[in-house]
Structure 1
Amino acid sequence: MTGVELSAADWALACLLGAAIGLDGVSWPQAMWSRPIVAGTLGGLLFGAPAAGCLVGVWLELVLSRHPPFGGARHPETGPAAFMAGAAYAAAGDGALIGIVAAVAVGWAIGWTGAHSVTLLRRVTPSLVSRPEGFRGGAAALARRHRLAIALDALRAGLLVAALFVPSVLFVRLLSTQPSGAAGAAWWPVVAGLGLAGAAGVAARGLGARGRHWPALAAGCVLGTVLLRVFA
């Protein structure tokens, strides 16, 4: 039921694409292919369903749009996350609504996982060019260190995809292929609860102490629960 045809070559290609997409976010070339709508489409294309991947990418653009990738604040790494989420939904192959919910949840979770990996790398890369006694070696040596930092960023994104690509595909595939009876319906409260909890947590970062906005958040949670119930 959860079987997905994924050859070693496809997995290696996914890792390479994930590295390139992750690299685009900050390091190089910043050509916007790390945006969820593009990365999700590329993930879907890997399984021959670019439209399915694009659909997940559009949803992730909406979910993650309040986290612009600039400034000193931590933000989710959208590129590899949308790539894996789009591929996962495309691999499900049946267009089930719960598959979209699961894929978006996967993308959101991987986005914040990637954010922590970026933070760890950013603590390492300054040591390549910063020394207490100052950097020595001239412009050529500094350029080599810069290229090494870019390569490490690509390696980080590639390893993130290597570790989470297959589990993401299998998770979305598992939920999408559940029967329509009680066993399948049992997944809805779990996925919906995780999604609402995640949305509330993200919203809380922006709301802060502004208590007048919390009723709007509560109303949105209630409306989302009702819609999930209707679609179920």
Structure 2
Amino acid sequence: MMGIELSLGDWLLACAMGSIVGLDAVSWPQVMWSRPIVAATLGGLLFDAPAGGFLVGTWLELVLSRHPPFGGARHAETGPAAFTAGAAYGMAQTGAVIGVPAAVVCGWAIGWAGAYSVTVLRVATARLWASSGRARGGAAALARRHRLAMLMDGARGGLLVASLLVPSVLFVRLLSTQPPGSFGLAWSPALAAIGLAGMGGVAARALGTRRRDWPGLAAGGLLGALLAGVLA
């Protein structure tokens, strides 16, 4: 019940796509396919669940968008995390509603793991080229170092997907397949509450003291609740 079927080809393709969406945020080509709503949809599409991946990505857009991806502050990395979350939902193949917030939790955790991996990569890159001897060679040497740094960044994103995709699938499937009356029933409202609280916190922190924007937030929350009721 808890086993998963993942061919080597699909796993390698997922790792390659994780590398690509990981590169997009900083290195190349910066066309915003690292945004959660895009990356998670791609992950779901890879495993025949684009709609589920889209829902996961929409939720992660709100959860992981607290910090803009620039400046020196550490922020959750969105690309590989959202891609893995969307792929995990697609691979779980449960169709259960609880699978969406379970995948969101995986994406949130992987996003912060990715943030620390970015820090490690930046320190390693700086040390790699810190010596004066490696700073010589002109424009050609600089271009080679830049390509190497991009390769390292892509490998980092691929390794995140390679190491965390299967655990994420198992987590989503575990929570999605709990029989009635088991502890699994408590996970659905708990995860939903955590996710909604996180989104509310993100929105409140982003709006700050700009009170004129709060009516728009309230209207969006109301429309979202009505849409959820209709879809349910």
Give 1:134 deviation, angstroms: 7.8
Whole-Å separation in 2 of the counterparts to 1:2 and 1:144? 45
Larger mean CA deviation between 101-110 and 188-197 belongs to 188-197
Give 1:172 deviation, angstroms: 0.4
Give 1:173 deviation, angstroms: 1.2
When residues 134 and 13 of structure 1 are mapped into structure 2, their CA distance, relative to the original with a 3 A threshold, is: closer
Q: Superposition pairs for residues 36-47 of structure 1, below 5 Å? A: 36-47=36-47
Give 1:170 deviation, angstroms: 1.1
The answer on whether the counterparts of 1:92 and 1:177 sit within 8 Å (CA) in structure 2 is no
| Matched residue, 2:111 | 111
| Matched residue, 2:22 | 22
TM score, norm. by length of structure 2: 0.80
| Matched residue, 2:155 | 155
Whole-Å separation in 1 of the counterparts to 2:190 and 2:92? 19
Aligned length: 214
Give 1:131 deviation, angstroms: 2.9
Is 1:101 matched with 2:101?
A: yes
| Matched residue, 1:139 | 139
Give 1:72 deviation, angstroms: 1.0
Whole-Å separation in 2 of the counterparts to 1:193 and 1:51? 22
**Superposition RMSD in Å:** 3.0
Residue identity matched to 2:15: C
| Matched residue, 1:70 | 70
Unaligned runs of at least 5 residues, structure 2: 209-224
Give 1:95 deviation, angstroms: 2.9
Whole-Å separation in 2 of the counterparts to 1:106 and 1:3? 18
When residues 45 and 153 of structure 1 are mapped into structure 2, their CA distance, relative to the original with a 3 A threshold, is: same
Q: Superposition pairs for residues 186-201 of structure 1, below 5 Å? A: 186-188=186-188, 191=191, 199=198
Whole-Å separation in 1 of the counterparts to 2:166 and 2:17? 14
Give 1:128 deviation, angstroms: 3.9
Q: Percent identity?
A: 67
Is 1:122 matched with 2:122?
A: yes
The answer on whether the counterparts of 2:94 and 2:173 sit within 8 Å (CA) in structure 1 is no
Is 1:181 matched with 2:181?
A: yes
TM score, norm. by length of structure 1: 0.80
Deviation readout 1:5-39 (Å, 9 max, x if unpaired): 21111111111110111011111111111111110
| Matched residue, 2:48 | 48
Residue identity matched to 2:81: A
Give 1:87 deviation, angstroms: 1.0
Give 1:58 deviation, angstroms: 0.7
Whole-Å separation in 2 of the counterparts to 1:71 and 1:2? 42
Whole-Å separation in 2 of the counterparts to 1:70 and 1:86? 24
Unaligned runs of at least 5 residues, structure 1: 211-226
Whole-Å separation in 2 of the counterparts to 1:56 and 1:192? 12
Residue identity matched to 1:98: I
Q: Secondary structure at the match of 2:131?
A: coil
